[in-house]
Every structure is written in structure tokens, then in C-alpha cells.
Structure 1
Amino acid sequence: MLLIGTVLSVFLPRAVARFGYRPPFYLGALMVGTGFLGGQVPCTLYYRLAALQFSTQEFSSKAIAIVIAGGCLSALLGPEIAKHTVNALSKPYSGAYLTTLCECAMLMFILTIIQFPSPRKTHNTHITSSLSTITGDNISINGRSIFVIAGQRTFLIAALGGFVSWSAMAIQMAAAPLAMTGSGYNFVQVTTAVECHLLGMYAPSFFTGSL
């Protein structure tokens, strides 16, 4: 279900273009089941792109870096919260899941008070400003077909880089906790290792925006 929810998030950009930022982000913040959890992850990753709508073109790279750097706070708080809530209820991990529900409720409240700009206006602005660097008769002011985008070398390089980096991350994050548990490490030690892993992921964001 987690995988299905993640795969379905491929339609997230179209949903943002059609309904604006708030409704898709609301849906991503819901935690009805594991499938919605799979949809939540891409929505949170999309926040860094939404930050571009609030920044100037010169500040765009730093805006993305600042949003991603917020993951450092999550890397510190998330595992610590899990340590104190994993056995809070009679069934293991149910307390941590309920805590995640509360966090998503807080997220929905924050999304309510944020004044998101219209994605249609910013979308047309980006399309117009980039027409000079795009060639082909199948480009219109309404955007490019997904098949046109998928055939571009720039997209293929980015997709390959994302595939390799995320695969390496997923293998470590998924296998390491299981291996540590099987080797006799307790839950606190496992979450500490995950905490260090997350810090290693997000800490570089403090300076990558200036590169």
C-alpha cells in the first residue's frame, strides 16, 4: 500500500495545477492508512518546489535549501518522539502511529493559514520565460506533454540521478534497522542510527543552496 500510494503521487503536479496547492497537500497530510502515508511522502517533498512561488528567482536555490534543511529538525525530533511513544499503548508502535496522526493534523492547520499563490499564474510565467530555451513545434503556453519531457536528455539525467541516489538511500534505511534488530540492538539504538542517517541526508542543505 505504501508503494501504491507513492506511485499514484505521480499525478501530484497535475493536481496542483488544477486545484492549487492546498487541496493536494491536505490529501497528503491525511493518515487514514498506509496508502495515504505513501502519498504523504511525495507531498512533503513537493514543499521545496512550492517554496519557489514565495521567493525571487535569485533566491530560489536558497529557498529550496532552507526547506530541505528543515529536515534536520525532523531528524532530531522524529526518532526521539518514536523512542517515547513506541510502547505508550498496549500494542507496540500504535502510540508512535497515533503521534504521527497528531503531527499530520498540525500540518493541516499550518497549511490552512498559509496563503499559497495561484499555481496557474506562476506556471504560465515559468513557461513563458523558458520558451526561448526550448525548441519544437509541440510546445504551447499550456505546457509540455509528459512524453515530450520524458524524451529530453535533461530529464533522463535527472531521473537517473534520482533513481540511483534514492535507491542507495532506501537500501540503507530499510536494511540497516532490520539488520541491527536482528543483531540484538534495541529500539533506542536503532532509532539513533536512523537519526544520524537523516542528519547526513539533510545537513548539507545548509550550504548546497550557495554552491
Structure 2
Amino acid sequence: MLRRAASFRSTVFRLAVAQALYLGGTAIAFAFSGIIGGRLAPDPSLSTLPAALMTVATMLTTIPASLLMGRFGRRIGFVAGAAAGSVGAGVAAWGIAQGSFALFCAGNALLGTYQAFAMYYRFAAAEAADERGKGAQAVGWVLTGGIAAALLGPSIGAWSRTAIPTVEFAGSYLAAVPLSLLALGVVATLALAPPSASVTAGARRPLGLIARQPVFIAAVVNAVVAYAVMSFVMTASPLAIVAAGHGVDAAASLTRWHLLGMFAPSFVTGKLVARIGPVSVLLAGGAVVLASLFGALAGNSALHFNAALLVLGVGWNLLYVAATALLTQSYWPAERARVQGLNEFLVFGGTAAASLAAGAVQTKLGWEIVTQSAAPLVILAMGVTSWAALHGRKRPAEALDADRQQSS
């Protein structure tokens, strides 16, 4: 028992470190890709295309990544993802140096492939939990790695952006290469069990039957809205803060505060989900996101931007951890790879559309429209959560037994 507990703690710690390294590199893209894209793109409205392509690549990779890991194990997939990240950061830096928008977009797309595999770190932690109640807490512990990324990632990007004096920002992306390589070394040492017989050959229901469960619908809708709204606002925010006259360094600081909001609550969110349930946490998260969106209208100072993005990050954390915990209640072991892959595909499909729209909306309509146009989606997610709570009162085990009878 003690050995199993020690192995669980070691696995979660390594996944948290890998999360920190992954996010440290992608934080650089979050902070600067829109600004760089605006300089390289043939049209200013395409400034967020690199960020959108990063998300599109994530979306397209999520299902193959899940199926690959479902067959060969998590570690192989995590290593492949980190390798793609190191190559992508190098290609993006090369694109900046060459003044090539196409190369810069390609590098960001490869970073999206890395992101697709890294999105499963939290599921790996939940699966390593030796008790069902610890799954949500394990997810929260892994996400705490984002705190280190919030403190270091944007700072590394800002410090290294002039490391190559003749090519601003190329050094920022080059700095992401060793972060990805370090992550590769960490995930290569993970002691994760290979897929068991129950996972590879167990009973499975049709995907349509799984997707009709209220618990699945609520989990996916909240995850999609959380990521899409966060990405829409976050992608536009560096453009907005620079347009408000606060400079490029202010964009790095803004990203730092946002990432702190996204991951600092992870110390308690998992425990909160275990204590009061995912539905209550989802509703609270929606309320916090709405507060950030309406609070963003209070002013255009750097403080106003930082506060709005910090609160937005807190709301995202509540939604993301609770939605992940809820999703794990919707599938049997053998269905894990397909259901997780479908969830991530839908999440990043919505996020890709949001990222691509962010640049055009910010450029043509402004920051106020960016923040207010996202509010209806959050209200919709809160309504779906309430509906699922009313129509999905069965305990998960009872619901799964009923589905087993229907599928037999």
C-alpha cells in the first residue's frame, strides 16, 4: 500500500513537472504569437492565425493521440508529443528569422501537436489515482505545474526576445526548445502501467449512446466553453493591451497573471470538486468567468487588463477541473481512449474557431466586443449544467449499469 502511494505521488509529481515545462514553452506562444503574426501576416486580421493553427493542430491530433496511447501506453505518446514541441519551437524561430509567415504558422502547428498529447497528462494522473475520490485531486495537482509556467514562461520569453538583436522574438521561441526537451526527459521516466486487458478488450458501448448521457453532455459543453472563451479573450488580449498603449512587455505580464489565475487554484479545486461535487463547481466557475468578462469593461489601464485576465483564469480552472472529473464518470475503462479523444477534439475544435476569430474581432470591433460576445456561451454552459443536474440524478454506477443493459 505504501509503495503504491509513493508510486502515485511520484507519477503525479512528474506529470506536474512535465505540465510546467509544456506550458512554459506554450506560454511564449500565448504571449507573442499574435504580435509576431501581426508583423509577418499579409493582413492584420490574420495576426492570430498562428495561434488558431496551433489549436487546429491540437484538435486534429487529439483523437489519433488518444487511440495511440490507448494501444501502446501513455509514455510513448507523451515522448512523441514533447519531441514535436521541440521541433515546432525551432521551426517557428526559423520562420521569424526568415520573415516567413508560413514557416511561423507551421512551427505553431507543431506546438499544437505537442499540446494535444500534453492535454492527456491530467487523465494519466486521474487514472493513476488508487482511489476514485482522488481522481479530481490528482488532476488539480498536475495543473499546479502551470504556476511555475506562469512565473517563468512569459519572463523567459520577454527576456529572450532580444537575445538575437537583429531578429526580435526569434530568441523567445528558441528558448522554448530546451523546455520541450526537458519535458521529453521527464515523461520518458514515467512509470505508467501499460493498457490492461480491461482497457484494450473490455465491453464497449456505441459512442452515440455514451454521448447522449447528461453527464457527458455537461462535461463536454463546459470544457468546450471554458477553453473557447478563455482562448478567445486571451488571444485577443495581447493585441488589446498593446493597442491601449501599454507596450509589448505589458503583454508578457498580462499572460503571466492570466496563467497564474488558470493554475494557482489547482491546489484546492480538486478537493473542492471532491467535497461539493463537479456540478456546483461548474456553476461557480461560470459565474466567475462572467464576472471577469463584465469586469473587463471597467477600464483600459494595465491593472484592469491584468485583473480581468486573472479572474478569467480562475473561472477557467474551476470549469476545467470539474468538467474533467465529470467526464471520467461517463465511460467504462475500454471506452476511455475514444471518449477522451472525442472530448479533446470537440474542445479544441471550439478553441480553434475562437482563436481564429479573436484577431479579426479585436482588430475590427475592439476589446469591448471581444469580452461581451463571449458571455452568452458561458450562460449557455451554466444552463446545460443545470439541465444535466436535473436529468442525471442517478449515481454514475447505476447509470452505467443501465447503459450496459441497453448495449447488451
**TM-score normalised by structure 1 residue count:** 0.85
Identity, in percent, stands at 30
* Residue in structure 2 matched with residue 3 of structure 1 by the alignment: 55
Tell me how far 1:122 sits from its aligned partner.
6.9
What is the DSSP-based 3-state SS (H/G/I as helix, E as strand, rest coil) of the residue aligned with 2:181? helix
Contact 2:163/2:171 (<8 A) preserved: yes
* Residue in structure 2 matched with residue 147 of structure 1 by the alignment: 208
What one-letter code is carried by the residue in structure 1 that aligns with 2:140? Answer: A
* Residue in structure 1 matched with residue 114 of structure 2 by the alignment: 40
1:130-141 maps to which residues of 2 (within 5 A)?
141=202
Q: 1:182 to 1:40 in 2, by over 3 A?
A: same
What is the DSSP-based 3-state SS (H/G/I as helix, E as strand, rest coil) of the residue aligned with 2:245? coil
Q: 1:61 to 1:3 in 2, by over 3 A?
A: closer
User: Quick one: which of 33, 50, 66 aligns to 2:141?
Assistant: 66
Q: Does 1:56 align with 2:117?
A: no
Tell me how far 1:203 sits from its aligned partner.
1.4
Query: Which segments of structure 1 move beyond 6 Å, counting only runs of 4 or more?
Result: none
What one-letter code is carried by the residue in structure 2 that aligns with 1:66? Answer: W
Unaligned ranges ≥5, structure 1: 125-139
**TM-score normalised by structure 2 residue count:** 0.45
Structure whose alpha-carbon radius of gyration is higher: 2
What one-letter code is carried by the residue in structure 1 that aligns with 2:189? Answer: I
For the residues of structure 2 that align with 1:19 and 1:26, how far apart are their CA atoms? Answer: 12
Contact 2:140/2:270 (<8 A) preserved: yes
What is the DSSP-based 3-state SS (H/G/I as helix, E as strand, rest coil) of the residue aligned with 2:109? helix
* Residue in structure 2 matched with residue 16 of structure 1 by the alignment: 69
Q: Deviations over 1:154-191 (max 9, x none)?
A: 21111111122112211221111001112222222111
Tell me how far 1:39 sits from its aligned partner.
1.6
* Residue in structure 2 matched with residue 159 of structure 1 by the alignment: 220
For the residues of structure 1 that align with 2:265 and 2:67, how far apart are their CA atoms? Answer: 30
For the residues of structure 2 that align with 1:170 and 1:122, how far apart are their CA atoms? Answer: 36
Contact 1:17/1:120 (<8 A) preserved: no
User: Quick one: which of 172, 182, 190 aligns to 1:96?
Assistant: 172
User: Quick one: which of 139, 151, 155 aligns to 1:76?
Assistant: 151
What one-letter code is carried by the residue in structure 2 that aligns with 1:56? Answer: D
What one-letter code is carried by the residue in structure 2 that aligns with 1:61? Answer: A
Tell me how far 1:119 sits from its aligned partner.
2.6
* Residue in structure 1 matched with residue 187 of structure 2 by the alignment: 111
For the residues of structure 2 that align with 1:150 and 1:92, how far apart are their CA atoms? Answer: 47
Q: 1:176 to 1:148 in 2, by over 3 A?
A: same
Contact 1:53/1:117 (<8 A) preserved: no
* Residue in structure 2 matched with residue 128 of structure 1 by the alignment: none
For the residues of structure 2 that align with 1:67 and 1:2, how far apart are their CA atoms? Answer: 22
